Amino acid sequence: MSDLAKHDPEIFALIEKEYGRQVNGLELIASENVVSKSVLEAVGSILTNKYAEGYPGKRYYGGCEFHDVIENLARDRLCKLFGATHANVQAVSGSQANQEVYFAVMQPKDRMMSQDLSQGGHLSHGSPVNITGKLYEVTHYGVDKETETLDYAQIAEQARQIKPQMIVCGASAYPRIIDFKAFKEIAEDVGAYCTADIAHIAGLVAAGEHPSPVGVVDFTTTTTHKTLRGPRGGAIMTTDDELGVKIDRSVFPGTQGGPLMHVIAGKAVCFKEALSPDFKAYAKQIVKNSKKMAKVLMDEGFTLVSGGTDNHLLLMNLSTLKDATGKHITGLEAETVLGQAGITVNKNTIPSEKLSPFVTSGLRIGTPAVTSRGMKEDDMEKIALWISRVLKDVAKDRSSKTEINAVKKEVTEFAAKFPLYPEVN
Ligand code: DSN
């Protein structure tokens, strides 16, 4: 980055600082990952110079001959990866991809059913503060109070009462397998379209570590930067040709302008990587790591939502971790103290949540990024014990910095053994 360092030292210095933060700490945010150098190079390329509104073979600008080939490669590779027959790779994000699906087949005021945000869903699934919640009449389903897992019989009953035009499944903070076939049957029963948002689990689905919704539901949306380990962006898939045509129109000219061709090239690179045997091994390790982390935390006495995990994330219920006065440690406090110890996580609502989303009683922990750095089950044990030490010490004495400082030192030494990019460190 010698040119950037010379011409914009301010931005360069901040990128360097962020690199230091990523490399010296442990990123346990469930929706983040570490992309390959190839993805970085594609996204940082001269493809950003070009407008390519339209689709391959039918653009509104000249000079798109190489962009056509790039976009076709991205579409074909995505179809191959998931067994789709139609893919749109222009969605700039997962939220945008969801809006584009709704816009393709729904009218304002149509009814939608989706998982409650506070119980694992996503803003773009019709939250009242999101455009999707303002455009459509949304009813949420939640998880069962006892098991903290989806109750398909209850969701089917709700669907029969609501008679929605669209049922959305998929989540941002749900640690268990999602039964896409059950959702499709519920949707069929009431004549609704079914969309599966697999943003979080796409890498697991691609590698066969989670059942796939492609070929089961009507639309599958995803981001490309979470477990799939590509550049930031979105994509939409279907196995229905007519719906594919509607999706393409909804994306462009329906909601977007010129596609981010440098990012589409990065997506193509990511899909090629995800088709490799190495990626299958990576996805398997993500789940092994997450299960190990869950076990150690539970052995340490912590409570996990649904009692464990089947995927890349776990949700700690901190309401059982109390200080001497009986007041519990909040998600916000836990996020802050673990951050000070070099462990980045995010506060998250839990199914029985009583606090605001800015405070919360939960903590979401994910293993995709640390698995990309080569960490295995033994390393997860170390990380879980560090989390335990910091949280228990803070519960004992909220002003204590003893374990925060000790763990920070150990984390920094440990992280140095797992460079982000071994060839450049
Ligand atoms: N913000 C993402 C997450 O962290 O889950 C979802 O869009």
Domain with CATH 3.40.640.10 in the chain: 40-274
Nearest atom, ligand 1, residue 223 CA: 7
Nearest atom, ligand 1, residue 95 CA: 7
* Spatial separation of the C-alpha atoms in residues 97 and 115, rounded to whole Å: 17
Tens-place pLDDT, residues 115-156: 999 999 999 999 999 999 999 999 999 999 999 999 999 999
Counting every residue written for the chain, the total comes to 425
pLDDT at residue 213, rounded to an integer: 98
Q: Whose CA is nearest to atom 6 of ligand 1?
A: 172
Tens-place pLDDT, residues 195-254: 999 999 999 999 999 999 999 999 999 999 999 999 999 999 999 999 999 999 999 999
Catalytic residue among 50, 51, 284, 392: 51
CA of 335 to the centre of ligand 1 (A): 16
Catalytic residue among 232, 280, 288, 392: 232
Q: Whose CA is nearest to atom 3 of ligand 1?
A: 31
Q: Give the closest residue to 230 by CA, choosing from 194, 195, 260.
A: 260
CA of 175 to the centre of ligand 1 (A): 14
Catalytic residue among 27, 116, 148, 197: 197
Candidate CATH numbers 4.10.520.10, 3.90.550.10, 3.40.640.10, 3.90.1180.10; the one for domain 40-274: 3.40.640.10
Catalytic status, residue 229: no
Domain with CATH 3.90.1150.10 in the chain: 286-415
CA of 275 to the centre of ligand 1 (A): 24
- In DSSP terms, 114 is beta-bridged to 140
pLDDT at residue 423, rounded to an integer: 78
Phi, psi at 341, each rounded to 5° = -90, 5
Strands (E), 73-146: 86-88, 111-115, 137-141
Catalytic residue among 226, 246, 291, 292: 226
Nearest atom, ligand 1, residue 200 CA: 5
Catalytic status, residue 232: yes
Query: What's 328's DSSP letter?
Result: B
Catalytic status, residue 223: yes
372 CB-near residues (< 8 Å, 6+ apart): 33, 34, 229, 282
* Spatial separation of the C-alpha atoms in residues 118 and 347, rounded to whole Å: 12
Q: Mutate which of 117, 226, 360 to test ligand 1's pocket (most atoms within 8 Å of Cβ)?
A: 226
pLDDT at residue 350, rounded to an integer: 96
Strands (E), 182-244: 193-197, 219-223, 234-238
Catalytic status, residue 227: no
Strands 111-115 and 166-169: parallel
Q: Mutate which of 27, 33, 117, 122 to test ligand 1's pocket (most atoms within 8 Å of Cβ)?
A: 122
- Residue-wise pLDDT tens for the chain (425 aa)? 999 999 999 999 999 999 999 999 999 999 999 999 999 999 999 999 999 999 999 999 999 999 999 999 999 999 999 999 999 999 999 999 999 999 999 999 999 999 999 999 999 999 999 999 999 999 999 999 999 999 999 999 999 999 999 999 999 999 999 999 999 999 999 999 999 999 999 999 999 999 999 999 999 999 999 999 999 999 999 999 999 999 999 999 999 999 999 999 999 999 999 999 999 999 999 999 999 999 999 999 999 999 999 999 999 999 999 998 999 999 999 999 999 999 999 999 999 899 999 999 999 999 999 999 999 999 999 999 999 999 999 999 999 999 999 999 999 999 999 999 987 75
Read off the pTM.
Answer: 0.97
pLDDT at residue 70, rounded to an integer: 98
Q: Mutate which of 32, 99, 114, 172 to test ligand 1's pocket (most atoms within 8 Å of Cβ)?
A: 172
- In DSSP terms, 363 is beta-bridged to 316, 347
* Spatial separation of the C-alpha atoms in residues 408 and 337, rounded to whole Å: 10
pLDDT at residue 352, rounded to an integer: 86
Other CB atoms within a 10 A radius of the CB of residue 107 amount to 10
Answer whether CATH 3.90.1150.10 is correct for domain 286-415. Answer: yes
CA of 369 to the centre of ligand 1 (A): 14
Q: Whose CA is nearest to atom 2 of ligand 1?
A: 31
pLDDT at residue 422, rounded to an integer: 86
Catalytic status, residue 80: no
- In DSSP terms, 221 is beta-bridged to 197, 236
pLDDT at residue 86, rounded to an integer: 98
Q: Whose CA is nearest to atom 5 of ligand 1?
A: 172
Residues with C-beta less than 6 Å from any ligand 1 atom: 31, 94, 122, 172
